[in-house]
């Protein structure tokens, strides 16, 4: 049986639009999930939006 690659969750910083990979963790069932980083590695912002929701995100400007 071949291994199918996992899709890593991606998050967009609402301040600088830098994209980050999610932080992997194991669930209680042994599967992997991805959490957003605590802060943006570029600007230090803490508002990270899942990439699939980015098109619907409205900034507070």
Q: 3-56: per-residue pLDDT in tens?
A: 666 789 999 999 999 999 999 998 888 888 899 999 999 999 999 999 999 888
What's the gap between Cα 38 and its chain centre? 10
In 1-61, the DSSP E strands lie at 10-13, 19-21, 23-26, 32-35, 48-50
* Cβ–Cβ under 8 Å, residues 48 and 37: yes
Within a domain: 20: yes
pLDDT of residue 46: 95
- Give pTM, 2 decimals: 0.78
Domain count, the chain: 1
Candidates 52, 55, 20, 60; CA nearest to 39 is: 20
The answer to whether residue 21 is domain-embedded is yes
Q: What is the pLDDT of residue 59?
A: 56
Domain coverage including residue 15: 10-55
For residue 1, what pLDDT band results from cuts at 50, 70 and 90? Answer: low
């Amino acid at each position: 049986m071949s291994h199918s690659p996992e899709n890593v969750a991606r998050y967009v910083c609402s301040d600088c639009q830098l994209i980050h990979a999610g932080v992997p963790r194991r669930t209680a069932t042994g599967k992997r999930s991805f959490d957003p980083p605590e802060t943006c590695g570029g600007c230090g912002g803490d508002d990270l939006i899942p990439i699939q929701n980015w098109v619907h995100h409205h900034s507070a400007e």
